[in-house]
């Protein structure tokens, strides 16, 4: 299944600035290729990897394969203070306190807290 996952911070219902440096710090040891002009990083972790498009305040991830890379992405999101957004799935918080900062309109049943990559994978594969 091809997944696009968006990583973004929120403050008082609006998109928040920052977090990119913290995410980059978590990903840095796992970057095998980079195109700085386009913010692209190819990340490898365990038996998997992902294509990452990172800037100062958000990130897009796709072509994810292997479960260990999801742990890395969740760790990075937690360090950045970001929420993980996968189209058609609940908003995945990396800290319960993020709930109060989401934009209005997120029903409680469309918000979950994920503590690990395995938690995030379960949310993604829910039908």
pLDDT digits (tens, 9 = 90+) for 42-84: 999 989 999 999 999 999 999 999 889 999 999 999 999 999 9
Residue 103 has pLDDT above 70, yes or no: yes
pLDDT at 1: 56
**What's the predicted TM-score (pTM) here?**
0.93
Which residue is listed with tokens 């911070």? 9
pLDDT at 37: 92
Identify each DSSP E strand in the chain by its residue range.
5-8, 10-11, 14-15, 31-35, 40-45, 48-54, 58-65, 83-85, 91-93, 111-113
Question: Cα(68)–Cα(46) distance, rounded to whole angstroms?
Answer: 6
Cα 50 to Cα 61, 71, 81, 123: the distances in Å are 7, 12, 20, 18
Look up residue 56 and give its two tokens: 């100062």
């Amino acid at each position: 299944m091809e997944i696009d996952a968006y990583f973004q911070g929120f403050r008082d219902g609006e998109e928040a600035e920052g977090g990119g440096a913290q995410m980059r710090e978590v990903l840095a040891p796992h970057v095998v290729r980079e195109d700085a002009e386009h913010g692209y990083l190819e990340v490898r972790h365990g038996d998997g990897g992902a294509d990452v498009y990172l800037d100062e305040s958000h990130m897009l991830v796709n072509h994810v394969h292997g479960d260990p890379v999801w742990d890395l992405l969740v760790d990075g999101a937690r360090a950045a203070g970001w929420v993980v957004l996968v189209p058609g799935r609940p908003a995945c918080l990396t800290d319960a306190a993020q709930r109060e900062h989401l934009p209005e309109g997120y029903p409680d049943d469309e918000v979950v807290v994920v503590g690990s990559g395995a938690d995030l994978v379960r949310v993604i594969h829910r039908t």
